[in-house]
Amino acid sequence: KTDVEGTMDQEITTLPPAMEANSSQSPAAVSAIHLASAGFLFPTFLVGVVANGLYLWVLGMKMKRTVTTLWFLHLVSCSVFVTLLIPFFAVYVLLGFHWVFGMALCKVLNTCISMVMFSSVFLLTLISLDRYILIHHPIWSQNHRTVHRAGKLALGVWLVSFALSIPNLVFRET
């Protein structure tokens, strides 16, 4: 808007601090939302640990070691790894998005999440390529597809995933 002299008046607006972003809601409503979120995260953690633990046990101990079981063993390991991190984030939600675990754990947990994300994507890509090779190049697959080579590729996936996650370790802040 302009005043009598034709100059622009500027309205000054201030944004609330990040912790008070939901200031229009009552504190009880925010607490209920946080409690409901944590109430969802803890059962997810329990079911995830039990189910993925059973998958790991069956894939690792009860099934014959093949290239396919190795891929899925590593993929389920990603799920277990990220599931084990859920309690930290449930506590974070319960405390109103206030991180109490310190800078080091913040960096490590976020690096782990990033590494698991990359590993999952790369493992799913390898599984898809493996299926393609099995169907379209069966003779080559029979002669060259071994558990040892698959293990090396899986190790490579984890190393590349860690390398791609290093920026989280270096630059992440609470």
User: What pLDDT was estimated at residue 25?
Assistant: 45
Torsion of CA 64, 70, 74, 75, to 10 degrees: -90
Q: 82, 134 in Cβ contact below 8 A?
A: no
Cα angle 8, 9, 11 (rounded to 5 degrees) comes to 135
Structure tokens at 17: 């601090």
d(CA 46, CA 38): 12
d(CA 94, CA 117): 25
- Average pLDDT per block of 10 residues along the chain, 174 residues long: 48 42 45 87 94 94 93 96 94 90 94 97 97 95 94 97 95 82
User: What pLDDT was estimated at residue 34?
Assistant: 84
User: What pLDDT was estimated at residue 29?
Assistant: 45
Helix, coil or strand: residue 88: helix
Closest of 52, 32, 30, 50 to residue 40, by C-alpha = 32
Residue ranges of domains in the chain: 27-171
CATH of 27-171, one of 1.20.120.530, 1.20.1070.10, 3.20.20.60, 3.60.40.10: 1.20.1070.10
User: What pLDDT was estimated at residue 18?
Assistant: 43
